[in-house]
Structure 1
Amino acid sequence: MNLNRRQFTTLAGATLLSSALPELHAQGDDHRIGYCIVGLGRISMDHFMPGVKMSSQSKITGIVSGHPDKARKMAAQYGVPDSSIYTYENCDQMRDNKTIDAVYIALPNNMHAEYSIRAAKAGKHVLCEKPMCTSVADAHSMIDACKQANVKLLIAYRCQYEPTNLRAISLIREGKLGTVQAIESANGFNISPGEWRLNKKMAGGGPLLDVGIYSLNACRYLTGEEPVEVKAYSTTIDHDGRFDQVEENTSWTMKFPSGIVASCNTSYGANMNGFYRVHGSKGVLNVESAFPYEGQHLTASFNDKTTLDEPNPAKDPSHFVRMADYFSNCIIKNEEPKTNGEEGLRDMEWISKIYESCGLSL
């Protein structure tokens, strides 16, 4: 084959790039990243899997479940062959499945670390739901396992890929609010009896790990800073049997290096609709429904009398489409994800400190 100089340079560059990338298992002309779903719960079946089906860079190629009938039903719906259905006992065999590039971990919190590490050892990239795990030590173990296996780890902070939240960050970075002084945020819901989230061993804690983490993470990405101090309280008001193992309410304040103060609340006893409010020297910004799967609405009013009113009409599962394709592109381009294991670790460290301030522990 005779190549001119430009053709040779292009081919050589492509060869070097391909050698630096992890092996991808796309079949034929289909270059989408194949995901194995680990755990068939509400978030995987009702949100992530429909999102992947709508995506351009991702597809479902495997399932891990302890419920054979449910697994076969979902496999038929997404075109997954029986040979790509696994149990929790034999899921390590996916290392030999060339159609699976990555896993999506959608299990109770205390199982995140084990199955993320097993997936990494099987050579698969890991997209793990938040919270990352239930201890700081497990977070370190997950990061180490993925680095040792040379696979990528993304924690599912979908709000960091959602347009309204990105718009809020942009307005703050551009100085539209002037000097930010304070942030308020809350996220919670009235939990039903019998939820696995009320089991301390499975959940790791109460609403802080489940939905309060959204407010914690938002304060960090809105400021672009790490807190330097935290103070917190927890209470249980409804003694109706739901909160025998975990707390009902947690409230905390954080101080950031710039002097910004943040006040956050989370609850399993009240619907809070997940919002934040940012106060600056030039105005105030509100995002209602900042954290749910749809319904984000940004408003702002500035000292010069101008205002913003920006509802986001996108419907669920749009967040999951964006997140899956983002991670798939990171895999294809061999780029480090924005919400990587270190991002999840930092939240776990702050959650541990919040609980410590409450007199509790993870």
Structure 2
Amino acid sequence: MKNRRTFLKNTTLALAATTLPLPYFACSKPQKKLGIALLGLGGYATNNLAPALMQTEYIELRGIVTGSPEKIPVWQDKYDIKDENIYNYDTLPEIANNPEIDVVYIVTPTFLHKKYAVMAANAVKHVFCEKPMAMTVEECEEIIAACDQNKVKLAIGYRMQHEENTQTIIKWADTKPYGTLENVHTEAGFRIGSSGGWRLDGAKGGGAIYDMGVYPINAMRYATGLEPVSLTATHETERPDLFLNGAPEITYFDLEFPNGITAKGRVTYADNVNFLKVNCADGNYELSPFQSYNGVQGSTSDGKTLAPCNCNQQAIQMDDDALSILNGKPVIAPGIEGLRDIQIVEAALESGRNGGKKIELKQY
């Protein structure tokens, strides 16, 4: 059985997973800048991605795709976007004829990711897709297939895998400076209110396990360098009037990995929590917070400090992915990364619905 580390080596991703964020492919620094269109102009695109694109070196904001006409003049005024680079969701296929747009970044709610990622790929544009990648493994497979068929890159927005301290944790899974890994404990969440919108609706990718679950799940995987073989999970909802269509407010999940390694996780919409701890035979290390937009920092059992990086995670992420396109190299977080996490999300939902039943996980 191939573990995740073997997979990374076999696909030449090990180098990408163990180097510092910038420059990702320092051996080749192309002069060209790619053009990107943001599809979906909600809070993350507005407050994080667009400002980050003002700091990137290899990719720049040139277009928008929106279903809200009132946002267009605001974005045009702020980012000098040409009329011909503005699309709505129905006219998205026309982007195929626009040579100024190289990449479409899907930043809609999760339940719309598959639809628009496939449309962008079919327009022969590279696809950046926010996490969670999609609602189901089947949808993830459709996105991957569309990108493969159209010979375009697919990068999932796992910004943490581009962050310096997180890359140290990824490297330590391989080098084991504190001895054999024994177990991982990670939790992530915040207290959500009635204004949570789609995040409160399980049918739209809501609930803590769908929306936030990929953070601790992905952390378990990159902290061990392995793929889990089984899972059990339970759900709790303290405010049932707030959540729709089976969206759980809190999910507890335990994963079993090869070599006897275990991982315990919790994802929650009930309280604020944010840490990753790795216990080994000869010590331990942690990041706290481990998935904040800034200030990711940590410590080790022998007194080392992983100081926060003064950097923009989204800018690093998009520059890394742009360089992978320009240099014809693999991206750090390809579609299979998103698919594997969604497999675990689906398994957690199934296990929780069946009283914590143990679910065996397929090895992709």
Fold shared by both chains (TM-score > 0.5): yes
Matched-pair contact (CA < 8 Å) for 1:194–1:242: no
Check conservation: 1:72, 1:82, Cα contact below 8 A.
Answer: no
User: Are the aligned partners of 2:173 and 2:222 in contact in 1 as well (CA < 8 Å)?
Assistant: no
Equivalent residue for 2:305?
Answer: 309
The correspondence for 2:199, drawn from 197, 200, 214, is: 197
Q: Does structure 2 retain, via aligned residues, the 8 Å contact 1:228–1:256?
A: yes
- 1:44 to partner: Cα distance: 0.7
Match of 1:16 in 2: none
Corresponding position: 1:129 with 2:125 = no
CA distance in 1, matches of 2:104, 2:31: 18
1:233-272 Cα shifts (integer Å, max 9, x gaps): 0011223x21233111100001101111100001111111
Residue equivalent to 1:42: 43
Alignment of 1:173-212 (within 5 A): 173-195=174-196, 196-203=198-205, 205-212=206-213
Matched, 1:340 2:341: no
Deviation at 1:338, TM superposition (A): 2.3
- Cα shift readout 1:292-318 (whole Å, capped 9, x = no counterpart): 1011111001xxxx3112221425xx1
Preserved CA contact (<8 Å) 2:36 2:60: yes
* Corresponding residue of 1:297: 297
Partners of 1:207 and 1:248 within 8 A in 2: yes
Distance 1:75 1:223 in 2: 44
Query: Measured at CA, do residues 30 and 284 of structure 1 come closer, stay the same or move farther in structure 2, by a change above 3 Å?
Result: closer
By how many angstroms is 1:30 displaced? Answer: 6.5
Query: In the alignment, which residue of structure 1 is the partner of 2:350?
Result: 356
Following superposition of structure 1 onto structure 2, how do residues 57-136 of structure 1 map, counting pairs within 5 Å?
Answer: 57-136=58-137
Q: Give the gaps of 5 or more residues in structure 1.
A: 1-28
Cα deviations by residue, 1:4-30 (Å, 9 ceiling, x for unpaired): xxxxxxxxxxxxxxxxxxxxxxxxx97
Correspondence 1:217 to 2:196: no
In 2, Cα distance between the equivalents of 1:116 and 1:355?
24
TM-score (normalised: structure 2): 0.86
Cα distance in 2 between the residues matched to 1:350 and 1:244: 21
Identity %: 31
CA RMSD across the alignment: 1.4
The answer to whether the Cα contact below 8 Å between 1:63 and 1:75 also exists between their aligned partners in 2 is no
> Is the contact made by 1:57 and 1:329 (CA closer than 8 Å) also made in structure 2?
yes
Tell me, in whole angstroms, the C-alpha distance in 2 between the residues paired with 1:172 and 1:116.
Answer: 32
User: Where does the alignment leave 5 or more consecutive residues of structure 2 unmatched?
Assistant: 1-29, 355-364
* 2:275 counterpart of 1:281: no
Check the 8 A contact 2:286/2:298 in 1, yes or no.
Answer: yes
Secondary structure of the equivalent of 1:54?
coil
SS in 2 for 1:53: coil
Q: Larger C-alpha radius of gyration, 1 or 2?
A: 1
- The one-letter amino acid of 1:279's match is N
- Measured in 2, the distance between the counterparts of 1:220 and 1:175 equals 15
Provide the C-alpha distance between the structure 2 equivalents of 1:336 and 1:172, rounded to a whole number of angstroms. Answer: 21
Q: TM-score, normalised by structure 1?
A: 0.87
Cα distance in 2 between the residues matched to 1:121 and 1:57: 24
Q: Is the counterpart of residue 271 in structure 1 residue 267 in structure 2?
A: no
In structure 1, C-alpha distance between the alignment counterparts of 2:332 and 2:297, rounded to whole Å: 24
- One-letter amino acid matched to 1:162: E
Corresponding position of 2:12: none
